[in-house]
Amino acid sequence: MKTANKTVTATQLVKDALTKAKHFADYNIFTYLNEEGALKRAAEIDAKIARGEEVGKLAGVPFAMKDNFLSPEGETTASAHILEGFTSPITATAIEKLEKEGAIMIGRTNMDAFAHGSSTENSYFGPTLNSHDRERVSGGSSGGSAVAVALDIVEFATGTDTGGSIRQPASFNGVYGLKPTYGTISRYGVVAMASSTDCVGFFTKTPDDMNLLMEVASGQDPKDLTTLPDYYNESEAKKVKKIGIIKDFDNDSVDLEIRQALKDKCEALKASGHEIVELEMPALKYALAAYYIIVPAEIASNLSRYDGVRYGFRSEDSANLEALYPNTRSEGFMPENKRRIMIGNFVLSSGFYDAYFLKAAKARTLIVNEYLEAFSKCDAILTPVAPNPAFKLGEKVDDPVSMYLEDVMSVPLNLAGVPGLTIPAGKTKAGLPIGLQLVGPRRSDKSLIEFSKELA
Ligand code: GLN
């Protein structure tokens, strides 16, 4: 990562990033550019460098921030109409930690509204275009962040991953994307989607940059009681020798070129002395169904706070409370947000709770146990991230089930809380990036990042 020093100033780094951001404006990457704020911070860092003061590990490094991280710069909208006009008085802990080391936020990136989606087409601001093919989706929900890194506007970007929202757009754009172990990075000040699976993570161009960001951002936060003690900085990377392959993922619903890329990697690993282990993980077939019950249930609860009183948008037709709530929510949420609220409230309602939510919770336990067993046989698992490379804009957006099927290989990790790292693995004949996903046991994030260097 290029940091500022006496010859390359933070101001220059920030100016370059802003120029590139404007150059690629038609990709619809940013919902807000933090020009004035970023240049002010850069000037402060340059002044410190001139005085010979300590400036931190990320001095002057411009970064892009997904629009669901709270900070006073610009409006935090989570790319949803219902949050338009909301400016946060607080800054997310993860962002505070990056800024303490000198990183500079140059803009907020586009996303599926409230992170519901796999293409960034559910954004109130319209889709972000894919970095390699402008007729295709950027992936989602963190599409803007992935494209900002892929087009080299910034060295890194923040994202959130509830069911694949970092890993899938990373794979669609040919960059690294990490969903850490659940609880590694504080979620304080991040717009909640599903509290039992939400994770903060990053997009980078190299494994070393990922490691550096993890060193900075990991650790316990008294403001987020789900955070783990700082295992990341207190542990060494372990050698990955045995790699598991999931037999069921090698089927006709997965793109042939992706399956070939996985086979090629396995051959290369064998040639370099690694052992490949075939795994049976039969409970994973329940993961998508369980995810689309548990996550909407948590979404319905988390989104109940948007009532037109406390945050952002309020319907003009709000003469009394009976009008204010439904009108604000009807006009402010995107169709996909509403679908999830409906499903969530349905599966939690009395009479259906046992049949849906409780069943899904039990399936989740099976999945957790299946990963535990798998990691008694191998050190890491290598799988595709999604069944296909980036698809065409408009191809799936009107068919929710086909959009949900995008997540079939990414959501099991979130249900189990285990880490997953997207690594670039070449391109299709048509020139679209292919990504593969390295999965490890809880708290193995550092080992995965280290091992990904061997796969580069
Ligand atoms: N695509 C998945 C969903 O729509 C994951 C989203 C996410 O990780 N935020 O739920």
Q: Write the DSSP assignment of 186-211 as a string of letters.
A: --TTB--S-TTT-EEEEEESSHHHHH
Q: 50 CA to middle of ligand 1, Å? A: 44
For ligand 1, mutation pick of 67, 112, 195 (most atoms within 8 Å of CB): 112
Find the domain containing 391 and state its range: 1-456
Going by C-alpha positions, the residue among 153, 210, 201, 146 that lies closest to residue 175 is 146
CB of 162 sitting under 6 A from ligand 1: yes
Statement: the pTM of the whole predicted model exceeds 0.95: yes
Give yes or no for residue 302 having a pLDDT over 90. yes
Give pLDDT tens digits for 12-39. Answer: 999 999 999 999 999 999 999 999 999 9
Residue recorded with tokens 């550092």: 446
Give pLDDT tens digits for 42-82. Answer: 999 999 999 999 999 999 999 999 999 999 999 999 999 99
Give yes or no for residue 288 having a pLDDT over 90. yes
Q: 341 CA to middle of ligand 1, Å? A: 14
Mean pLDDT of the chain: 97
Task: Give mean pLDDT, residues 255-280.
Answer: 97
Give yes or no for residue 9 having a pLDDT over 90. yes
Give yes or no for residue 224 having a pLDDT over 90. yes
pLDDT of residue 87: 97
Which atom of ligand 1 lies closest to the CA of 292?
A: 10
Please report, rounded to a whole number, the percentage of residues in the chain having pLDDT higher than 70.
Answer: 100
Residue recorded with tokens 């659940």: 182
Tell me, what CATH number does 446's domain have?
Answer: 3.90.1300.10
Judge whether 186 counts as a catalytic residue: no
Task: Give mean pLDDT, residues 365-370.
Answer: 98
Q: 308 CA to middle of ligand 1, Å? A: 25
| Catalytic residue (one of 79, 88, 123, 141) | 141
Residue nearest to atom 4 of ligand 1 (CA): 117
Residue recorded with tokens 């086979």: 263
Residue nearest to atom 5 of ligand 1 (CA): 163
Domains held by the chain: number: 1
For ligand 1, mutation pick of 116, 119, 172 (most atoms within 8 Å of CB): 116
Judge whether 141 counts as a catalytic residue: yes
Give the whole-angstrom CA distance, residue 215 versus residue 416: 23
pLDDT of residue 272: 96
Give yes or no for residue 144 having a pLDDT over 90. yes
Give the whole-angstrom CA distance, residue 120 versus residue 142: 7
Could you give the 3-state DSSP secondary structure of residue 434?
strand
pLDDT of residue 69: 98
Give pLDDT tens digits for 241-267. Answer: 999 999 999 999 999 999 999 999 999
Judge whether 218 counts as a catalytic residue: no
Which atom of ligand 1 lies closest to the CA of 291?
A: 10
For ligand 1, mutation pick of 67, 114, 118 (most atoms within 8 Å of CB): 118
Give the whole-angstrom CA distance, residue 55 versus residue 51: 10
* Chain length of the chain: 456
Give yes or no for residue 6 having a pLDDT over 90. no
For residues 31 and 25, the answer to whether their CB atoms sit within 8 Å is no
Which atom of ligand 1 lies closest to the CA of 193?
A: 9
Reported as a pLDDT band with limits 50, 70 and 90, residue 427 is very high
Give yes or no for residue 358 having a pLDDT over 90. yes
Q: 247 CA to middle of ligand 1, Å? A: 24
